[in-house]
Amino acid sequence: MKRYDAVIIGAGHNGLTNAAYLAKAGLDVMVVEKNDYIGGAAVTREMHEGWFYSSCSYVCSMMRQAIHRDLDLAKHGLLLVPYLGTVAFGDRGETLIEYTDEEASYNELKKHSPHDADAMHRFQADLGRYAQLIRKTLLRTPPDPSSFKPRDIKELLWLAKEFYALGERELYEYVRFFTMSAAEFLEDYFENDLVKAAMASPGIIGTALGVYSPGSAYVLLHHVMGDVDGNVGAWGLARGGMGAISNALCSAMKAHGGELRTGSGVQQILVKGGKAVGVALENGDEIYADIVVSNLDARRTFTKVMDKNDLPDGIYERAENFKIRGSSGKVNIALSGMPKFNNVPDNPYINRGGQGFVGSLETMERAYDCWKRGTWSDDPFIESVIPSAWDPTVAPAGKHWMSNFIQYCPPKLADGEWTPEKRDAFGQTVIDKIERFSPGFKDLIVHMEVRTPHEIENEIGLTEGNIFQGELTIDQLLFNRPFPGYGQYRMPVKNMYMCGSSTHPGGGVSSACGANAAREILLDLKRPNTVPEDDCYDE
Amino acid sequence: MTNEPAMSADPFQGERPRHTHFHERQAALNVREAWSAWNGFRFADYYYDPEYEYFCIRNFCGTYDICPMQKYYISGPDAAAMLDRMVTRDIKKLNVNRVTYCVWCTDEGRIVDDGTIFRISEDTYMLTCGSPSVSWLRKSAIGFDDVTITDMTDEIAGLSLQGPTSYSTLKAMGLEGLETLKPFGIMRFPFNGVELMVSRTGFTGDLGYELWIDPSQALAMWDALYAAGKDFGIHPYGETATDMARLEAGFIMPDMELSESLKTIHFEHDQSPFELNLGWLVDFKKPHFNGRRALLEERERGPKWTLVKLDIPGNKVAEGAIMYDTEDCDNEIGYVTSAMWSPSVKANIALAMIKTPALKGDIWAEIYYQKELRYYRKMALCEVKDKPFWMPARTRQTPPEVYS
Ligand SMILES: Cc1cc2nc3c(=O)[nH]c(=O)nc-3n(C[C@H](O)[C@H](O)[C@H](O)COP(=O)(O)OP(=O)(O)OC[C@H]3O[C@@H](n4cnc5c(N)ncnc54)[C@H](O)[C@@H]3O)c2cc1C
C-alpha cells in the first residue's frame, strides 16, 4: 500500500492550504475529508435549486493576500470583491449608514452626534495601530516564551521590539486592551447609543462573550484587522461564495500533485511507538504517512480521533478544558426579490454591504443573557449580507440570497437537546426581527436554512459549533493557542501537527494557520521554506 | 446693437466641454461629479467609486462611453489599398464584419496612433482611434483616386459594454443570435427603426462588446440596455476603471505607453511598434507601407527599448519608478509607464520601458511611497512576465457563459 509523506485530516480551507504548501514543496500529500464536499466552514452549497449558500462563513477580510498571490489563486478561479455601504439598525428602527465616501460617512455620523463624528478618527487610528501589530504576527509562528532556542529568542525580541515601538503610553493601553470589554473600550470614544452598538458588533461575533465581558475588545480587533487590497478593516465577498476560496486552494493543491479523498472521515490517528504513522478511516481503510496533520479543532483532535493512551499525561484533560463554546447561529434565506428596509435610501449602493440589526449595547447584552440561560433571545443581534447583490453566480437573476449571522445561539438548550421544531422556532425569531425593519420581508422568502450550533457541529465537526475552533481569549491566543507549550503547530505526539483555526492566529478564513503549520513541517524536514512570511509588506 | 443676437446667459459657454450622446443619463449617475475631458467632451473619471466600477468589469458588466473616440469612415474602391498602405497590418486579410487592431507609423517607423479598423461592408471601413486624425488620413489618401474619408465621430454613438454578464445583458435586451459572435466579429440588429451594430471588442481583457448606433436612438438604447442589465449588475465606469482593467490585460494606453509621434518634440521620445512589443502587428509580407523600410532596419538591429510586463514584490505601487540594473542603482535602464496593485490577481504590476540589452540582467525598480506624509524609498527586484496579468478563458469563449 502507498505510503504518503503527509496525510491531512480535514479539507477545511486551512487543511487545504497546508496540503497545498506541502505539495508545492514536493511532498506526497493526501487530504481526507469526512464530507462529500470540501471547505469545512468555508463552503458554498446549492441548498435550493439555483441558490448557492455560503452555509457558514460568508464574508472575507482575513484571507492572507500573500497566500492568494503566492498560490496563484486568481488562476484557480478566486476573485475577492470588496463591498461597500452598510446600514446599522437601532432598537427603534433608526439607522446609521456607513457610506463608501468618507465625507458622506462623516456627515451621516454628525447627524447622530458631532462628537462621535469627530471621535471616529481617533477611534480608527487607535484601532489601526493595534491592528497593525497583530497583522504582522499572522503569518509568523509564535515564539515559545519558555524556550532558549535561538529562533524563539529572536522571535520574542522581535515581538518585544514591535510592542515597544508603540511608545510607552500606547504599550500600556494595548496590554489593557486585551482584557477589556468592547463596551468599555467604546465608551472612551462615543456617546451615541447606535454608534456604540454599531462599532461593538464585531466584538461579539462568534464569541461566547458579551459586549460587557472582558476580552470582547480583542474579538472586535480580530474582526477588523483583516483587509481587502490593503484597506484594513474592509470586508469582501468571494465570487461564487466562500467555497470559491476552498475550491481554489484545492485546485492549487492538486496542481502541485496533492490528492484528496472525500466521503469518509478519520476514526483514529494511528500512533506506534509514540509516533503518528497514519490514520484509520470510518470505512475501515487505513492510510499511512510519515506525518499526520489535523485540521480539526483541538478538542476534537485529542478527544475524538485519538486514543487517550497515545497521549502524554495531561493533554487529554487540556483538550477537554479547551474553551470552545458555541454561541452563533446562521439563517440562510432565498428571496424572490430585493428586500426594502425602513429609513434607508432606496439607491443601488446602500444595503449592498450589509445590514447590522445591532439594536443597542443593552439589547446585545440581553441576548447574551439568554445564551447563558441556555435559550435564545427573541430580539437577537443579526448581521446580514445579501451577497447576490454583488455576485451574479449565487442566485437566479433578479432573485437574492441573504446570509444572516445570529448572536447568540446556545449549543445546548436549558430544556434539553435541539430538535427540528426548536431549530425552526429559533429561525422564526430571526425573520420576525427582520420583518420589523423590512415590512413585507417574509413574503419574499422562497427557502430557508436554519443552522444552530447543533447543525454546524454535526456537519463540519466544529465542536459546539464554535466558529473560531476555540475561543479567542488571551489564554488561548498567540503562543497559548491551542495550549501553552504547543503554540508552534507541533503536537505532543511525534510527527503529528495541527493546522486548523485552533492554532495561531485563530478563527476566520485566513489560510494563515495552515500556511504557518506547513512552514514548521518543512523546517522539521529540513527543507527550504516556501511559505510566505510577511503579508503586510512594509506598511 | 439691438439687432445682435443675445449672448448666451452662460459666460463660460465656450469653455465648457461638449456633452456626449449619453451624457444625460451619465450625468444623473455621476454621484461624485468626477469629470474630466477627452477630445473636447465631458468625460467621467468615475461615477460612484472607481474600485466598484473596476469590479463591475470583472464581476458583472459596465458601460464606458466611447463617443469621444474618433470614428472615420474610409470608403470607396481604393479604401482597402489606402489603409493597407497606411497601417502596418495586412488589411486585405480583413473580411467583411471583422475587426482588427492596428498601428500606423511615420516614415521613420514611429507610431502615429493605434486604433481598430472595422470592415463594415465590402468597401467601407470604420477606423476608430483615440486622437483626431483627419489630417493624417487625408495625407495618407494622397495618390488614391477613389477613397472618401468621412469623420463620423458625431454621427455615431458608441458605448462599450464589458464584463462577464455583458452577454447575458444583451441577450436579455433581445439580441437574437449573439451567441455565435466571436471575438473581433460584428453583428447587426434592428433597434427602434435603426440599425444597432455590435462588435465583440473592448479594452478590458474581459468578455465584452461595443455598441454602435445612430445618435437619435442613443438614449433609447441606453435605457433598453440598463433595463436588461438591471439584474446583471450593469453600471457605468469611467477612465479610472478602464485604466485598471487595460493594464491588467497588458494593453497600451496613449499618453502612458505611447507618445504619438506627430506630437512628440524630443528625438525618439515616441515609440516604434517593436519597442511596444507590438511587432506582431507589422506585416513585412505585404508590399510597401508607411515606415516599412525603417521598421525592417529596426527588426534587423533590434529595438532600443522594449516594453515589458512586470510583477513587482511587495505592494508599493511603482508609479513613476526609474529602473536600474542593480540594487545599488549602478546604471539606469528604464522607467515605469503604468503601475498598479491588481485587485483581481493580488499582484503589484507594472508596464515598463527597458533598454533592450538590459533585459538580459536584473531589473530593479526604485520605488517611492508615502506613509502618513513621510516619503520612503525601496528597491524591488522585478520579474518579467510574458502573459497578460489577466485574460480569463471567458474573454474568448463562444458562446459565452450565460447567467440566468
Ligand atoms: C456560521 C459561521 C460563520 C462564520 N463567518 C465567518 C465569516 O464571515 N468570515 C470569516 O472569515 N470567518 C467566518 N467564520 C469562521 C471561519 O469560517 C472558520 O474559522 C474557518 O473556516 C475554519 O477553517 P479551518 O480550516 O480551520 O477548519 P474547518 O473549516 O472547521 O475545517 C475542518 C474540516 O475537517 C472536516 N472534518 C471534521 N472531522 C473530520 C474527521 N473526523 N475526518 C475527516 N475530516 C473531518 C470538516 O468536515 C471540515 O471540512 C464563520 C464560521 C461559522 C461556523
The minimum CA-CA distance between A397 and chain B, rounded to whole Å, is 5
Amino acid at site B181: L
B8: in domain: no
Ligand 1 contacts CB of residue A15 (under 6 A): yes
Residue A456 alpha carbon to ligand 1 centre in Å: 9
Is residue A534 one of the residues assigned to a domain?
Answer: no
B1 pLDDT band, cuts 50/70/90, is very low
| pLDDT for the residue numbered A390 | 93
Closest residue by Cα to atom 18, ligand 1, is A508
Q: Are A254 and A298 in a shared domain?
A: yes
Query: B126, B151, B176: which is the final residue of a domain?
Result: B151
Query: How many angstroms from the chain centroid is the CA of residue B359?
Result: 27
Q: Which residues of A touch B164 (CB under 8 A)?
A: 392
Shared-domain flag, residues A355 and A420: yes
C-alpha B292/C-alpha B281 separation (Å) is: 12
Q: Write the residue in B60, B345, B346 that is nearest to A392 by C-beta.
A: B60
Note the pLDDT tens digit of each residue in B362-390: 999 999 999 999 999 999 999 999 999 99
Mark whether B224 and B91 lie in a shared domain: no
Partner-chain contact B346 A229, CB within 8 Å: yes
Using alpha carbons, list the distances in angstroms from residue B404 to A386, B53, B221: 18, 22, 22
Do residues B185 and B41 both lie within one domain?
yes
How far, in Å, CA of B345 to CA of B362, rounded? Answer: 23
In this complex, the residue of A69, A79, A349 whose CB is nearest that of residue B48 is: A349
B93 & B55 share domain: no
CA atoms of A433 and A422, how far apart (whole Å): 17
Count of Cβ atoms closer than 10 Å to residue A123 Cβ = 17
Contacts of B344 in chain A (CB under 8 A): 74, 79
Distance A10 CA to ligand 1 centre (A): 9
Give a yes or no: residue A459 inside a domain. no
* Residues of chain A below pLDDT 70: 535-539
The region that residue A230 occupies, defined by phi over 0 for left and psi between -120 and 50 for alpha, beta otherwise, is left
Domain C-terminal end among A217, A234, A251 = A234
Indicate whether B206 pLDDT > 70: yes
Residue B403 is nearest to which of A228, A392, A539, comparing CB atoms?
A392
Q: Locate the ligand 1 atom nearest the alpha carbon of residue A509 and give its number.
A: 11
Cβ–Cβ of A79/B32 closer than 8 Å? no
| Residue B309, in any domain of the structure | yes
Nearest by CB to residue B346, choosing from A65, A82, A348, is A65
- DSSP state string for A300-348: HHHHTSS-GGGSPTTHHHHHHHS-----EEEEEEEESS----TTS--SS
Confidence of residue B233 (pLDDT cuts 50, 70, 90): very high
- Are residues A338 and A384 located together in one domain of the fold? yes
Q: Could you tell me the distance, in angstroms and rounded to a whole number, from the CA of residue A118 to the centre of ligand 1?
A: 39
- Residue A1: per-residue pLDDT: 76
Residues B83, B145 within the same domain: yes
Tallying the residues shown for chain A, one arrives at 539
pLDDT at A537 (0 to 100): 66
CA of A40 to the centre of ligand 1 (A): 4
Residues of the domain holding B338: 304-385
Do B55 and B160 sit in the same domain of this protein?
yes
| Counted domains in chain A | 3
Atom of ligand 1 nearest to the CA of A62: 11
Distance of CA A298 to the CA centre of its chain: 16
> Residue A537 falls within a domain, yes or no?
no
Best of B58, B346, B349 to disrupt the A interface (most A CBs within 10 Å) is: B346
Average pLDDT, chain B: 96
Which CATH number covers residue A313?
3.50.50.60
Residue at B396 is within a domain:
no
Residue B186 shares a structural domain with residue B142: no
Do B191 and B63 fall into the same domain?
A: yes
Return all residues near A174 (Cβ < 8 A) that are at least 6 apart.
A130, A133, A163, A166
Nearest residue on chain B to A81, alpha-carbon basis: B55
Segment (H or E) for A524? helix A512-524
**Given the CA of residue A59, which atom of ligand 1 is nearest to it?**
8
Asked, for residue A21, whether it belongs to a domain, the answer is: yes
C-alpha of A130 from chain center: 19
Q: Tell me the backbone φ, ψ of residue A37, rounded to 5 degrees.
A: -120, 160
Tally of structural domains, chain B: 3
**Is the sign of the CA dihedral B247, B252, B254, B258 positive or negative?**
positive
Residue B8 has pLDDT above 80, yes or no: no
Which helix (H) or strand (E) segment is A170 a member of?
helix A168-177
Bridging pattern class, strands A3-9 and A275-281: unpaired
Note the pLDDT of residue A321. 96
Which residues contact residue B234 at a Cβ distance below 8 angstroms, ignoring those fewer than 6 apart? B56, B60, B61, B62, B63, B161, B165, B169, B225, B226, B228
B297-338 per-position pLDDT tens digit: 999 999 999 999 999 999 999 999 999 999 999 999 999 999
Q: Read off the CATH number of the domain in which B325 is found.
A: 2.40.30.110
Q: Establish if B92 belongs to a structural domain.
A: yes
Assess if residue B395 is contained within a domain.
no
pLDDT score at B6: 58
Q: Does A224 lie in the same domain as A258?
A: no
All residues of chain A having their beta carbon less than 8 Å from the beta carbon of residue B316 are: 537-538
List C-alpha distances in Å: A446 to A50, A60, A441, B43, B285: 11, 26, 11, 43, 63
Does the beta carbon of A351 sit less than 6 angstroms from any atom of ligand 1?
no
Among candidate residues A303, A390, A195, A200, the one with its CA nearest the CA of residue B59: A390
Using the 3D structure, point to which of B90, B120, B151 is the last residue of a domain.
B151
- Domain-embedded: residue B239: yes
Contact A34, A282 (CB under 8 A): yes
Dmax of chain A from CA atoms? 71
- B49 shares its domain with B125: no
B189 and B49 fall within a common domain? yes
Are A444 and A339 in a shared domain?
yes
Q: At B304, phi and psi to the nearest 5?
A: -70, -35
Q: In testing the pocket of ligand 1, which one of A56, A403, A466, A476 has its CB within 8 Å of the most ligand atoms?
A: A56
Mean pLDDT computed over B109-137: 97
Do A332 and A353 sit in the same domain of this protein? yes
Q: Is the CB of A305 under 6 A from ligand 1?
A: yes
In this prediction the pTM is 0.96
Report the interhelical angle of A150-164 vs A114-137 (nearest 10°): 160
Residue A87: name the closest of A334, A342, A331, A338 by CA. A342
Phi, psi of B229 (to 5 degrees): -90, 0
Same domain, A483 and A375: no
Given A211, A234, A257, the domain boundary residue is: A234
Cell 489606402 appears where?
B82
Same domain, B197 and B311: no
In this prediction, residue B7 carries a pLDDT of 61
- Per the domain annotation, does A461 fall within a domain? no
Share of chain B above pLDDT 70, in %: 98
Chain B residue whose CA is closest to A104:
B32
Which of the listed residues A212, A234, A256 is the one where a domain comes to its end? Answer: A234
What angle in degrees, to the nearest 10, is found between the helix axes of A243-255 and A13-24? 20
Q: Is B401 annotated as a binding residue?
A: no
Q: Characterize the bridge pairing of strands A275-281 and A286-294.
A: antiparallel
CB contact under 8 A, B346 and A73: yes
Q: Taking a C-beta distance cutoff of 8 angstroms, is the pair A42, B320 a contact?
A: no
Quote the ligand 1 centre to A65 CA distance (angstroms): 19
Range of the structural domain that residue A385 is part of: 84-113+328-408+410-451
Query: Is the residue at A199 inside a domain?
Result: yes
Q: DSSP labels for A473-511?
A: SGGGSGGGSSSTT-TTSB-SSBTEEE-STTSTT-SSS-S
Q: Please check whether residues B64 and B165 belong to one and the same domain.
A: yes
Looking at the domain assignment, is residue B12 inside a domain? no
Whichever domain contains B192, its CATH number is 3.30.1360.120
Measure A511 CA to nearest chain B CA, in Å. 15
Residue A533 lies in a domain: no
Give the distance (Å) from ligand 1 centre to CA of residue A248.
16
The three cell numbers of residue A186 are 467604546
Residue B53 lies in a domain: yes
Contact A269, A305 (CB under 8 A): yes
Q: In one letter, which amino acid is B271?
A: Q
Chain A residues lying within 8 Å of B231, measured CB to CB: 397-398
- 3-class state of residue A375 by DSSP: coil
Ligand 1 atom closest to A501 (CA) = 26
Query: Is pLDDT at B352 greater than 70 in this prediction?
Result: yes
Whether A466 maps to a domain, the answer reads no
Give me B126's grid cell: 470604420
Contact A21, A515 (CB under 8 A): yes
Distance of residue A72 Cα from the nearest chain B Cα, in angstroms = 8
Specify whether A228 is located in the same domain as A155. yes
Indicate if B168 and B232 belong to the same structural domain: yes
Cβ contact A400:A338 at 8 Å: yes
Are A444 and A333 part of one and the same domain?
yes
Are residue A205 and residue A268 in the same domain, yes or no? no
3-state secondary structure of A139: coil
